[in-house]
Structure 1
Amino acid sequence: MTPEPAAPVRWIVTTQDAAWREVPGPDVEPVTEMPNVFVVVDDPKQLIEGFGASFNELGWTSLGVLEQSQRDEIFRELFAPGVGAGLSLCRMPVGANDFSRDWYSYDEVPGDFALEHFDISNDLETLVPFIRAAQEQRPDLRLWASPWSPPSWMKRNGHYAGALPNPFMSNVQNGLNPDQVGHEGTDMFILDEPHLKAYARYFGRFIDAYRELGIPIGMVMPQNEFNSPQVFPSCTWTPDGFVQLLRHLGPEMAARDVEVFLGTLERSDDRLLGDVVAVSEAAGYVSGLGVQWEGKGAVAALHRLHPELRIYQTEQECGDGRNDWRHARHAWSLMKQFFGNGANAYMYWNISLLEGGLSRWGWTQNSLIVVDPETAAFRYSHEYQVLKHVSAFVAPGARALTCLTYSGYDNQLAFLNPDGSIVLVIQNDMSVEMPVRIMLGDRVIAPTLPADSFSTIVLPPVG
């Protein structure tokens, strides 16, 4: 019987001027000289749970500029397995965030501890159809959620925000008075039993309401960026405040089979989370950690000190609305740092925004999809292509692989998929072509990487 021919090696290349070109894969060669990169395939590291982005209100309204056929194309490209980016694990807010149409919570009736006025009707216009469109392409889409602010009446300052607008944001108003400004290292939440119990039930009502709509949410984090009072919805918490909340939030979520991660951390101090999980009563409810922005400086320590907890990169640094190649290169450096230090999942931030990426509160940020409201056209950003170079090929359940380097070649990530295929993503950040020899187990490839490029090389399973 004639043996089946070996499956070819795939090679996809993106440069600033030409995205996602599939070129003939490099040949598998014998070892004849010292490789530049050794991919350690027999000692796989952390499990990779998935890649995603966040469902924000302005993402949905920006897509509303487009025709239905264009939106269908976008959702298929982003979410359908085996088509494009293959996003499988996404974030959403609990109430308003900085890319909502305006401030809202699900219960703004002061003193409504029984939550008799709890109402998610606002989301029926935006977040619910947004998520459902993604579910149509990926029915097994996993979701997690975090609030940016509790209902304003649950906070000490009685307001959704925690900071006054900066002088350069003269067109932004949030109605905050100087005596309502929040401060890092304090608890803006009212830490008494009635408010803590009501807030834990608020999370539960949110989970129940979405579940009734056919949108299961598998995990929550108690607060986005808990150290940062912001001009937009925000709330600061201390480790002790989190411990008190978890006494109530933990049982509410456990009763619904919903996980609790601690986060999101945006400071480089691992103790801000470590001091919470050091308390056994709180640690029993926490199954993971959420880290973003400057929290990247704490990832290595968190992974080393708390190996029993999974780590999600929860919000990629969001740029300045220019969606340029410079920031796509920066995004790659972030992926390397997080996956190289034990992260299990990686989340982009805005799925879609209008050209310029302006938020309700004056911020300009990048997005995967950039919509031109004048022409009703859209484009996929450079950052989308970089994310896709990893997410399109690294399947949920893959394992990160260690790469040992020689002679200064150190600009790659490698993963072992459940089917045995190996995914290597590598950047050539130089302005000239770069030949490189890569040893993956007992196989060697020697591609010449185009100048200023990203490459994904997929080796099929052996045998």
Structure 2
Amino acid sequence: MRRFSAVMLPVLLVAMLATACSGGNSGGTSSSSGKQVQVWLTTPDRSKLLQQEESLKLTKAKDSDSEEGVVTIDDQKVYQQMDGFGASLTDSSAWLIANKMNDAQRGDLMGKLFDHEQGIGISYLRVPLGASDFAVENYSFDDMPAGESDPELKNFSLGHDKEYIIPTLQQALKINPDLKLMGSPWSPPGWMKTTDSVIGGSLKQEAYEPFANYLVKIIQGYEAEGVPFDAITLQNEPHYTPEDYPGMRMEPLEQAELIKNDVGPAFEKNNIKSKIVIWDHNWDEPYYPLTILNDPDALKYVDGTAFHGYAGEVGNQAQVHDAYPDKNLYFTESSGGAWSTDFGGNLKWDMENLIIGATRNWAKVVLKWNLALDENYGPTIGGCKDCMGVVTINQGTGDVTLNSEYYSFGHASKFVKSGAYRIESGESVSGGIEQVAFKNPDGSIVLVALNAAGEDQELKVKIGGQLFAYTMPAGAVATFVLPGTDRK
């Protein structure tokens, strides 16, 4: 277990940082003392949306405050280091941001998404490498006429992404320089596949090496634009082969072969530092990543495993962690949609399964699907016809609607900074007060809590020799920020 020793800032500086973190939300007073706890609240009736409340006093704890029901934070017991929270900048998302908003609207939205003060400080984005179902058109970075191939990648070009995807990422990185990116292909170029199309099929054996070099060229090309990839996966949802948008079947033994014989060596040869992440599909098949990790020649190249949330249980992540505790876990996709429009229900699901559930089951990254979609749940070239983005952009006016995901993820992304560690906070009571805690690089403590019960509940939190209490409304989410001071 890696231990974390925080750098303790002076009380005044911590208070200033905490005040800046409030992001201008109304409804409360910021902390002017190291003995206060800042509070942000979202209620299921939307009467309060990531609203700062009156700060709480830390008081001296009594022996009786160790009783059952008290959340006891131990910031010396440290778990995984966090990279961040966010969503996917799909082709559709970037196209809308770049083409359906004026400069003022775009600047305001990007601030709301990526700035810690003005907005929620998104710190991690997934980027489809080529078209996904949420794209304006089908494309890869080396398309060829039917029946032709390009094994030397002479036709390779990032021209499509340079139009609006890379500029949008550059703008996001300017706002939040700590932002990290993961690239995920839905399909290699069609000529590499058994179908000679980005739709369906599997990777031809003779295309393993060209595909590895294709990934190298993507990473190098993006980095040349000032947009480096922290990690890549080899195939989005390798156990689902869609009929109307790009996808590809890839079995675990095939992925292991690709990694150990082609992608891993190609990354080494070209000094590629982007991490290799496997699986990138649902919770219900943990055997898939375990099969790859059980191959020692593939294992040495693998940083970790990515999961989606459309089937299975979040606890299955822990099976992979327990077998390979030195490998990282990522949660990379789950979408809201028109099938579920209850704000409070969506807020609760995201908190239970993703913000709290995925991180308590070792995820260092937690992402939703589309960052932005339009009022008609698109643009889309296939697949889901009623998925919703973190935000909705009206194509006619450029007006933005902030959806439930903006607030559920904002309760973490705004306050849990890149490099934070998840820390011990006792049991998260299913159906009661569910919670997770983190320690930021500046030593501040962040507790994210959900009252999953149908009635108001008092939350008591003990840390060191001090205590605070707060009455959480039924179904509400609250984030508590404790400054990095001596709490003995």
TM-score by length of 2: 0.84
Closer, same or farther: CA 322–352 of 1 in aligned 2, 3 Å: farther
2:41·2:479 contact (CA, 8 Å) conserved in 1?
Answer: yes
1:226·1:236 contact (CA, 8 Å) conserved in 2?
Answer: yes
Residue equivalent to 1:144: 182
- What is the CA deviation profile of residues 400-421 of structure 1, one whole-angstrom value per residue up to 9, with x for unaligned ones? 1233249874411111222221
Closer, same or farther: CA 102–321 of 1 in aligned 2, 3 Å: farther
Residue equivalent to 1:229: 241
1:322·1:356 contact (CA, 8 Å) conserved in 2?
Answer: no
Is 1:259 matched up with 2:275? yes
2:451·2:473 contact (CA, 8 Å) conserved in 1?
Answer: yes
Residue equivalent to 2:293: 277
Distance 1:407 1:281 in 2: 41
Residue equivalent to 2:193: 155
Q: What is the 5 A alignment of 1:403-418?
A: 403-405=425-427, 409-418=432-441
Compute the displacement of 1:202 (Å).
0.7
Distance 1:279 1:456 in 2: 41
2:279·2:288 contact (CA, 8 Å) conserved in 1?
Answer: no
Q: What is the 5 A alignment of 1:144-183?
A: 144-162=182-200
- 1:368 maps to a residue whose letter is V
Distance 1:395 1:432 in 2: 31
Residue equivalent to 1:122: 160
- 1:277 maps to a residue whose letter is L
Compute the displacement of 1:108 (Å).
1.8
- What is the CA deviation profile of residues 244-266 of structure 1, one whole-angstrom value per residue up to 9, with x for unaligned ones? 21111112223222221112132
Residue equivalent to 1:171: none
Distance 1:260 1:302 in 2: 16
Residue equivalent to 1:349: 369
- 1:141 maps to a residue whose letter is L
2:83·2:180 contact (CA, 8 Å) conserved in 1?
Answer: no
Q: 1:393 is matched with which residue: 410, 415, 418? A: 415
Q: 2:209 is matched with which residue: 185, 197, 203? A: 197
3-state SS in 2 of match to 1:69: helix
Compute the displacement of 1:126 (Å).
2.6
Closer, same or farther: CA 250–453 of 1 in aligned 2, 3 Å: same
- 1:136 maps to a residue whose letter is K
Q: What is the 5 A alignment of 1:283-432?
A: 283-293=299-309, 294=311, 296-320=314-338, 324-325=342-343, 326-335=345-354, 336-358=356-378, 359-363=380-384, 364-405=386-427, 409-432=432-455
Residue equivalent to 1:103: 138
Identity of aligned residues (%): 26
Closer, same or farther: CA 221–102 of 1 in aligned 2, 3 Å: same
- What is the CA deviation profile of residues 121-155 of structure 1, one whole-angstrom value per residue up to 9, with x for unaligned ones? 11122311221221221234221201001111111
Q: 1:135 is matched with which residue: 139, 161, 173? A: 173
Structure 2 stretches lacking a partner, 5+ long:
1-10, 13-32
3-state SS in 2 of match to 1:87: coil
Q: 2:262 is matched with which residue: 227, 248, 258? A: 248
3-state SS in 1 of match to 2:407: helix
Distance 1:289 1:406 in 2: 24
Q: 2:226 is matched with which residue: 201, 210, 214? A: 214
Closer, same or farther: CA 376–86 of 1 in aligned 2, 3 Å: closer
Is 1:24 matched up with 2:54? yes
Residues matched between the structures, number: 435
Residue equivalent to 2:26: none
Closer, same or farther: CA 42–218 of 1 in aligned 2, 3 Å: closer
3-state SS in 2 of match to 1:436: strand
Distance 1:379 1:47 in 2: 32
Structure 1 stretches lacking a partner, 5+ long:
163-181, 183-187
Distance 1:284 1:405 in 2: 34
Closer, same or farther: CA 375–212 of 1 in aligned 2, 3 Å: closer
1:319·1:327 contact (CA, 8 Å) conserved in 2?
Answer: no
Closer, same or farther: CA 443–374 of 1 in aligned 2, 3 Å: same
Closer, same or farther: CA 461–160 of 1 in aligned 2, 3 Å: same
1:253·1:259 contact (CA, 8 Å) conserved in 2?
Answer: no
Distance 1:383 1:147 in 2: 24
1:227·1:266 contact (CA, 8 Å) conserved in 2?
Answer: no
- What is the CA deviation profile of residues 58-111 of structure 1, one whole-angstrom value per residue up to 9, with x for unaligned ones? 112222322211110111121124442212221111111111112111112222
Is 1:11 matched up with 2:39? yes
Closer, same or farther: CA 406–190 of 1 in aligned 2, 3 Å: closer
2:133·2:383 contact (CA, 8 Å) conserved in 1?
Answer: no
Compute the displacement of 1:212 (Å).
2.0
